[in-house]
Amino acid sequence: MVTMTSVTLGDVRVVRSVDVQSYVGLKPSTARKSVSLLRRTETRPLMVVRASKEGDISVKSSGLSIEESEAAAVAGNFPDPPPPWRPSAPKGTPNVKPLPLTRRPRRNRKSPTLRDAFQETNLSASNLVLPLFIHEGEEDVPIGAMPGCYRLGWRHGLLEEVYKARDVGVNSIVLFPKIPDALKSQAGDEAFNDNGLVPRAIRLLKDKYPDIVIYTDVALDPYSSDGHDGIVREDGVIMNDETVHQLCKQAVSQARAGADVVSPSDMMDGRVSAIRAALDAEGFQEVSIMSYTAKYASSFYGPFREALDSNPRFGDKKTYQMNPANYREALVETEADEVEGADILLVKPAMPYLDVVRLLRDNSALPIAAYQVSGEYSMIKAGGALKMVDEEKVMMESLLCIRRAGADIILTYFARQAASVLCGMKSK
Ligand code: PBG
């Protein structure tokens, strides 16, 4: 069971080997007992646990080859044990008795191998979804407010960008179209034109890269002359059920073109069940729904609206998107989306809303997505360009933290750049 040997070093008793390994394989009740026994024993006042093994780590290797080491060992020349010295501390360091700590969490952080072994969260290219802006033109047009992002020509730039993303392991994309003003209308009918920009782009991509996973955005804003996600009544109200009717047609049109996951980002009530029923009625049982479950009325969407020229013509989106002050309300949306048949629940934005990501993670068994939105992306880019932060490190940390909060997948404009870093390539 618990083996504890103590040796005496000067006037300090040191607990040497607490055999935690021996708990493995014990019955849970026995293990619990042993742990509590261990705790009781460990808190006895006289016992002091040695701080760390810095001394051992700074021991130099003899520099022998494997063969030389083996030969030396066969000849009976074993290396000496690490010397009991401690590296010297700078002048002025106070000389103190070691603190009588039971827990020293730093022990588990003392070398890169241990740190890697105990890393709780990981990021891989398979967790990333790359949002792409497309337009009817031939050129790729840089988006001023989003350095490194372009409105891609759907025939050329789009295919090339997807090729580069796949090259670093990103095989999931989400499409956002910039629609010419002439095709926008109050009811947003262009959203379900089977030969519209998005269905055409999906067909082209699926033909070129059949194994790619294409997510689509389901909302009227790129197609609405009012710049809202739904149909606007004369008194300014965004009409719910009438909008849902349009969204169903939009989702079916995208599914028909070959979309894998349709993603309602509009925040109308009841749209998930209506879209599910519409897809099923057309035979698209296998098409998934990623619902923007907790989408907040956020100022972090600013650069995106510039990219698509989709700013609301009047007012804001506060009657359908959630109030940034609200947390519990995300549960109301979660319950509705689960009951209505969503396959994936999304939180948006991501970094300022990590508590909401965790809330959904803890309250649903469904996969959770988080959208690191345009404003989050541009702030990191700007901070990097101004040399205020290390862009690459902050990018990777932000994504890891979103994973830690509980997101399975992350929609991020950094997808390709981050995946390059993960492959050990230069990020830009
Ligand atoms: C709208 C939509 C928005 C984004 C994705 N879909 C903007 C909005 O709600 O106004 C924002 C994404 C981003 O900022 O990166 N359907």
Q: What is the pLDDT of residues 392-412, one digit of tens each?
A: 999 999 999 999 999 999 999
- Contact between 39 and 2 under an 8 Å Cβ cutoff? The reply is no
Among 149, 305, 311, say which to mutate for ligand 1: greatest number of ligand atoms within 8 Å of CB. 305
Q: In this predicted structure, what is the pLDDT of residue 85?
A: 78
Which residues face 14 on adjacent strands?
Answer: 7, 48
pLDDT under 50: residue ranges of the chain: 1-56
Helix (H), strand (E) at residue 155: none
Among 130, 221, 247, say which to mutate for ligand 1: greatest number of ligand atoms within 8 Å of CB. 221
Q: In this predicted structure, what is the pLDDT of residue 427?
A: 60
Q: Is residue 373 in contact with ligand 1, taking CB distance under 6 Å?
A: yes
Measure 189 CA to ligand 1 centroid, in angstroms: 19
Burial class (CB in 10 A: 0-12, 13-18, 19+), 282: middle
Residue 272 in any domain: the answer is: yes
Q: In this predicted structure, what is the pLDDT of residue 205?
A: 98
Q: In this predicted structure, what is the pLDDT of residue 29?
A: 46
Residue 27 in any domain: the answer is: no
**What residue spans of 341-373 are helical by DSSP H?**
354-363
Compute the distance between CA of residue 375 and CA of residue 303 in angstroms, rounded to an integer: 6
Q: In this predicted structure, what is the pLDDT of residue 394?
A: 98
Tokens standing for residue 191:
């959203």
Please give the tally of structural domains in the chain.
1
The CATH number of the domain holding residue 218 is 3.20.20.70
What is the rounded (10 degree) CA torsion for 187, 188, 189, 191? -150
Measure 266 CA to ligand 1 centroid, in angstroms: 9
Q: Is residue 229 in contact with ligand 1, taking CB distance under 6 Å?
A: yes
- Residue 230 sits in which domain range? 125-422
Residue 245 in any domain: the answer is: yes
Phi-psi region of 281 (alpha: psi -120 to 50; beta: other; left: phi over 0): alpha
Tokens standing for residue 90:
């700078």
Q: In this predicted structure, what is the pLDDT of residue 28?
A: 45
Compute the distance between CA of residue 102 and CA of residue 328 in angstroms, rounded to an integer: 39
Residue 120 in any domain: the answer is: no
Residue 111 in any domain: the answer is: no
Tokens standing for residue 1:
């069971």
Measure 301 CA to ligand 1 centroid, in angstroms: 6
Measure 42 CA to ligand 1 centroid, in angstroms: 55
For strands 213-218 and 172-177, give the pairing: parallel
Q: In this predicted structure, what is the pLDDT of residue 50?
A: 43
Which residue owns the Cα nearest ligand 1 atom 9? 301
Q: Is residue 219 in contact with ligand 1, taking CB distance under 6 Å?
A: yes
Compute the distance between CA of residue 145 and CA of residue 199 in angstroms, rounded to an integer: 27
Residue 78 in any domain: the answer is: no
Q: Is residue 265 in contact with ligand 1, taking CB distance under 6 Å?
A: yes
Which residue owns the Cα nearest ligand 1 atom 12? 373
Residue 38 in any domain: the answer is: no
Q: In this predicted structure, what is the pLDDT of residue 59?
A: 60
Give the residue numbers annotated as catalytic, written as ranges.
295, 348
Closest CA to 195 of 138, 243, 254, 251: 254
Residue 425: phi, psi to the nearest 5? -95, 165
Measure 308 CA to ligand 1 centroid, in angstroms: 9
Which residue owns the Cα nearest ligand 1 atom 14? 301
Compute the distance between CA of residue 13 and CA of residue 360 in angstroms, rounded to an integer: 48
Which residue owns the Cα nearest ligand 1 atom 8? 301
Tens digits of per-residue pLDDT, 37-70? 444 444 444 443 444 444 445 567 888 899 999 9
Residue 116 in any domain: the answer is: no
